[in-house]
């Protein structure tokens, strides 16, 4: 077997070089990303695999598949490259690996088949295209993220998963694991994806365009935020009445009690500075395009993140403002009970057009009236399509949008933009 491996290496290397050159000729917008991946033969692996730096291939396996289907190596090379520029390997450890692998393969093959480049057709492609047409009717643009949600949210049988794997599986994902010694980092691959996306726009108009590829690249270059982490921006330092364990010595305290009766040698420091939510504003866009169940779900999610003992002060001052083109209602929340009552009993009002300016003007009035001692920020849940104020307010602002598969509306440079998909909410 060793002799066969050594004999296969030179020819397999030439086939890989030919595949690489073919991709460069037909898809010039991939040149930078393509040059970022080295190739290396691997003995008796029986597969192709990539760790984000190198493509590992079994020369014997490669030549066998090349003989059976000449387009296989070219297709495999492109398949792996798309996994990297779509950022698939870097999300593998954060999700259900089996479902994510299948979703990633489907997304990559959808993008390749839509491009319709010469010399890349496999025997299974017609059957795969029929399956993709059915999936598009249910999902829309076939990004890995959308396919993954489909696989997780709907009862997809083992038989159906097996059929999908047969039609779209290409490479092993065994190297899709977090590692500290990557030559090309996660952030560098993101920059490569941004370059590919920019170059794709200027690619020849005569060439086929791939909606799946464009949407997958969009997902890759999006900034991924943790909503919970961003909420910490709205936490302020405040003195909370509780024993400060970090500055209190219990040894002297208990020694005094045991030796002198009810006379501790040191009193506990009751005051401790904690970062907690005390004063902020939640603005709800109640225009016709942003209403109903999602608003309630967003409020419950935000409440769930903030209502732990470590987040809320005994006293709080939160205003929930409903607004479309004008402020419809302001509900002041001073306790958990207030918030629970609002979520259970209050009905949204408005449903006109969207204008963000009235909320900011109203909050400015509250500030002038002394309603807030230390307003940290304003959280605005909206679809984003409205009129923004020009002036930067004296507090942090976060616009939270529903992720519709695009980059979302542009926001002023002084605001933070967060995209949450409906599953997150």
Domains with residue ranges and CATH for the chain: 2-221 (no CATH), 228-239+276-420 (3.40.50.410)
Q: Indicate yes or no: pTM above 0.85.
A: no
Q: What tokens appear for 316 in the block?
A: 């709080």
- What local confidence, expressed as pLDDT, does residue 409 receive? 74
CB 409 within 8 A of CB 377: no
Handedness of CA 286, 288, 290, 296 (dihedral sign): positive
Q: What is the largest CA-CA distance in the chain?
A: 92
Compute the distance between CA of residue 126 and CA of residue 123 in angstroms, rounded to an integer. Answer: 7
pLDDT band at residue 350 under the 50/70/90 scheme: low
* pLDDT at position 47 over 60: yes
Helices 144-153 and 125-139 pack at an angle, to 10 degrees, of 70
* pLDDT at position 130 over 90: yes
- Tokens 């001052």, located at residue: 317
Average pLDDT, integer, range 379-396: 85
Considering only residues 137 and 262, tell me which one the structure prediction assigns the higher pLDDT.
137
Considering only residues 414 and 255, tell me which one the structure prediction assigns the higher pLDDT.
414
What average pLDDT does the chain have?
Answer: 77
* pLDDT at position 111 over 70: yes
Considering only residues 28 and 357, tell me which one the structure prediction assigns the higher pLDDT.
357
Considering only residues 144 and 270, tell me which one the structure prediction assigns the higher pLDDT.
144
What percent of the chain has a predicted confidence (pLDDT) above 70? 68
* pLDDT at position 309 over 70: no
CB 184 within 8 A of CB 52: yes
Average pLDDT, integer, range 13-36: 86
């Amino acid at each position: 077997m060793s002799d066969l491996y050594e004999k296969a290496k030179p020819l397999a290397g030439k086939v890989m070089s030919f595949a690489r050159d073919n991709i460069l000729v037909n898809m010039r917008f991939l040149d930078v990303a393509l040059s970022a991946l080295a190739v290396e033969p691997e003995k008796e692996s029986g597969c192709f695999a990539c760790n984000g730096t190198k493509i590992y291939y079994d020369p014997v396996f490669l030549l066998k598949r090349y003989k059976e289907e000449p387009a296989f190596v070219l297709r495999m090379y492109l398949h792996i490259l798309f996994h990297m520029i779509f950022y698939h390997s870097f999300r593998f450890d954060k999700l259900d690996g089996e479902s994510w692998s299948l979703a990633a393969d489907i997304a990559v093959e959808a993008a390749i088949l839509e491009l319709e480049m010469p010399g890349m057709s496999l025997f299974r492609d017609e059957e795969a295209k029929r399956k993709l047409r059915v999936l598009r009717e249910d999902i829309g643009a076939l990004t890995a993220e959308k396919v993954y949600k489909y696989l997780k949210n709907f009862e997809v049988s083992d038989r159906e998963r097996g059929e999908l794997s047969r039609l779209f599986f290409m490479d092993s994902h065994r190297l899709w694991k977090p590692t500290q010694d990557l030559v090309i980092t996660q952030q560098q691959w993101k920059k490569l994806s941004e370059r590919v996306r920019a170059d794709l726009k200027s690619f020849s108009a005569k060439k086929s365009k791939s909606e799946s590829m464009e949407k997958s690249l969009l997902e890759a270059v999006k900034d991924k935020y943790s909503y919970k982490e961003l909420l910490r921006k709205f936490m302020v330092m405040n003195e909370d009445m509780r024993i400060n364990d970090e500055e209190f010595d219990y040894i002297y305290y208990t020694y005094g009690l045991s030796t002198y009766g009810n006379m501790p040698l040191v009193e506990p420091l009751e005051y401790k500075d904690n970062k907690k939510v005390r004063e902020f504003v939640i603005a709800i866009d109640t225009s016709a395009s942003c209403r109903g169940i999602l608003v309630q779900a967003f409020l419950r999610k935000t409440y769930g993140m903030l209502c732990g003992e470590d987040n809320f002060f005994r006293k709080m001052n939160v205003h929930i403002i409903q607004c479309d083109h004008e402020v419809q209602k302001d509900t002041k929340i001073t306790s958990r009970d207030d918030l629970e009552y609002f979520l259970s009993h209050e009905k949204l009002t408005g449903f006109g057009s969207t204008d963000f300016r009235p909320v900011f003007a109203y909050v400015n009035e509250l500030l002038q009236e002394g309603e807030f001692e230390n307003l940290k920020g304003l959280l605005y849940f909206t679809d984003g399509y409205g009129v923004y104020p020009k002036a930067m307010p004296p507090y942090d602002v976060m616009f939270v949008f529903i992720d519709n598969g695009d980059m979302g509306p542009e926001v002023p440079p002084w605001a933070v933009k967060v995209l949450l998909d409906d599953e997150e909410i």
